[in-house]
Structure 1
Amino acid sequence: MFDVGDNVVYPHHGAGTVVSKETRVVLGQEREYLTIKILHNDMTVNVPTENAEKVGLRWVIDLETVEIVVKALSGESTEMPKNWNRRFKHNRDKMKTGDILELAEVVRNLALRDHEKGLSTGEKQMYVKAKKILASEMMYAKHMSEEEAAAWLDEVLANPAAGKTKAKPKAKVAAASA
């Protein structure tokens, strides 16, 4: 399923690269493990290959899906519970799914709420974590550095048109907007 060199997403920690695949004996049983290096938080995760699907491990999205994520980030806020701890649980459950669009929705909704009303301390921490996880995947999907991906995400949240991939050469864009 996953091989050394694959870029993958571990939902709770973000995107990384499979750096090794090895067999280990644990509690008398031989099991195959994937070792995943997650750059954005300098973490190494070991996942038994038979549990990869159960923990939500998946490949990094492609550029087509990046465009869908940008649309999700630039959409309107969706209905969320008014009570902050219900809202926190609602967002945490969305993040746990490992679905990139659910994560993008959490980032968008928290960004909008932060701009309009401010966030509780717990929601601020969640917002920072969700943005880091999303940026870590964008780093691999868009072939950027960690810093470039974080800046790109901030720009998309501030100006949704900024995230769109430029399909036209600059000369035509300038002529079209004149």
Structure 2
Amino acid sequence: MPEFQVGDKTVYPGYGVAEITGIENREISGSQQKFYVLRVLGKDMTLMVPMSNADSVGLRNLVTPEEVDQVYEVLRKRGEKISTATWNRRHREYMDKIRTGDLSKIATVLRDLCLLRSDKDLSYGERNMLEMARGLLVQELALAKEMGEEAIDSEIEAIFA
């Protein structure tokens, strides 16, 4: 389990990149607990996570350069069968992947929806899911590669052009 410090950037599954802005002691049910105070980047949102639960909620470090390469491989991979399940079932499967916080699984969601978009018009829900996956992916890749989000977005668009 990684130990985070104030100022560290971390990933909170489903929310994206957050900065540790503080570590606070709080009394919960009569016992003292330490909490990470997280500010989610790009959103007006602050979260508190008990340090003892950081692992179980999926709080993790940003991806490494090696993991960045794996994410791009997932995006470039073709020939994967896209689920033919109903949209409701696919939506549930995609949300489960996004909630893991695993960038490769999020990349799979983005890839599948981008490929589906080339075959048919996406529904409102599918478009929202695509934008959510893209936002999470672009935000973390930009920080990991020390590039602007626009540049990362352009790289991703080029893969599906």
For Structure 1 versus Structure 2, the TM-score category normalised by the shorter chain is 0.7 to 0.9
1:94 equivalent in alignment to 2:124: no
Give the partner amino acid of 1:84.
W
**Partner residue of 2:52?**
50
Contact 1:62 / 1:141 at 8 angstroms: preserved in 2?
Answer: yes
Residue aligned with 2:71, SS: helix
Pairwise CA distance, 1:62: 1.1
**Partner residue of 1:79?**
82
**Partner residue of 1:6?**
8
Pairwise CA distance, 1:69: 0.5
Q: Partners of 1:16 and 1:80 in 2: how far apart?
A: 32
Question: Are the structure 2 counterparts of residues 153 and 18 from structure 1 closer, same or farther at C-alpha, using a change threshold of 3 Å?
Answer: farther
Question: Are the structure 2 counterparts of residues 17 and 32 from structure 1 closer, same or farther at C-alpha, using a change threshold of 3 Å?
Answer: same
String of CA shifts for 1:12-53, please: whole Å, max 9, x gaps: 100122121121223433111111222222322211111111
Q: Which protein is bigger by CA-based radius of gyration?
A: 1
Give the partner amino acid of 2:136.
I
Residue aligned with 1:119, SS: coil
4+ residue runs over 4 A deviation: none
Pairwise CA distance, 1:100: 1.2
Pairwise CA distance, 1:96: 1.6
Deviates most, 122-131 or 144-153 = 144-153
Instruction: Give the gaps of 5 or more residues in structure 1.
Output: 159-178
Give the partner amino acid of 1:52.
A
Residue aligned with 1:40, SS: coil
Instruction: Give the gaps of 5 or more residues in structure 2.
Output: none
TM-score, normalised relative to structure 1: 0.80
Pairwise CA distance, 1:55: 1.0
Q: How does 1:5-154 map to 2 (within 5 A)?
A: 5-76=7-78, 77-154=80-157
Residue aligned with 2:27, SS: strand
Give the partner amino acid of 1:36.
L
Give the partner amino acid of 2:116.
R
Question: Are the structure 2 counterparts of residues 87 and 8 from structure 1 closer, same or farther at C-alpha, using a change threshold of 3 Å?
Answer: same
